[in-house]
Chain A
Amino acid sequence: MFERLGDKVRQRLRGWTEQMAGEERKDQLQALTRTENEYGVDPFGFNLDYSLAAIAPLLWLYRNYHRVETFGIEKIPKGRVLLVANHSGQLPMDGAMIGVAMMMEAQPPRAIRSMVEKWVPTLPYISKFFARVGQIVGTPENCRRLLAAEEAILVFPEGARGITKLWPQRYQLQEFGLGFMRLALETDTPIVPIAVVGAEEQAPALVDVKPVAKLLGFPAFPLTPTGLPFPLPTKYRLYFGDPMHFTGRADDEDSELDKKVRTVKAAIQTMIHQGLKERRGIFW
């Protein structure tokens, strides 16, 4: 019974996505079908039907709530690519909005993958949802496999440090992990830096109640003026930079890798400053 109810809801949502996307895009989206088996999933658990349904509320938020504007999305190269972005806003809406942009604005549309924390597979419902929309656990092995299959992977090298940072640190990039650079060098994958402007203000966190976070097993427990980290309707701007190619040894000293990572970080920081200068306000 639940199954049938689920199917009906899914069809409705998918219809909604297609209506918002328009006729032309609808056909393009259908072409996103990966190497699916007779049960409609690819080996990683991605399901196009499920994803197109799941994206409907996000697409609505993208168009009407955060009113996302993209700049330079046409710079994304074909084939495998690492999308490296700043991470902020307590809830990973930035990831969702980049995902929607890649599906709805990029030409041709792409269903990106992103790497999620290892605690995600332990969370009921969320683990299933993430798997069906193509998000997988961020092990280097998984990442290599997807890049070899010419996929686009979204990475937030700041990780939890970025998304949980407090209001005074807004738009200051936190320490970047080096893992993505190792993978880029190893697999000869171009990196596209992305700056997200507008996500910082969606849920300004004043304090992080660490004991509660620890108790619940969360990376952080932020308190916002409203209490909850519910996103406010801030206007999002997504800046896509020029693809960056790096050469060198993947097993180099950390200091060598760090130099390369810093050029990516600088590219993102520059676009953030540009975005902050260009915008007239937080909500428009």
Chain B
Amino acid sequence: MNAERLERLIESYGASPRRWPQDERAAAERLLAERPDLRASHQAALDLDHWLDAVPNPRPSMALHDQVLASAIQAGRRRSSVFGLSRPLAWLAGAGLAAATCAGALSGMALTTHMTADARAEAVYAQAAFGVIDDAEVLG
């Protein structure tokens, strides 16, 4: 760790060490404590972090929450109709979740049912299967 790298970390990830790369964090914190000349750029990054944190964190509405639960039931019904009675547990079509889901939400809301999404989700799964990627390849 040197001053140049620490400045790069601060410029990129901000002032909070918890956002710095894990393998560099301890050394960077030590260096920051030893280098008062870097405190100005750290303070500038801290100000920007505070501004970023001032953006309100959106909270799901109850309606959205219920719609999402309802979509789980819908997906479960689809699966259970595919697997039929041979499937011991009708996936999520059971009464437990239905009871937990607001009845009003179920009655009035249009569900998002893009059935063509399955194939794409599979493709995305393959795309996200990062375990096969070599670290060196990713790091360049």
* A and B: interacting chains: no
Binding site for A on B (CB under 8 A): none
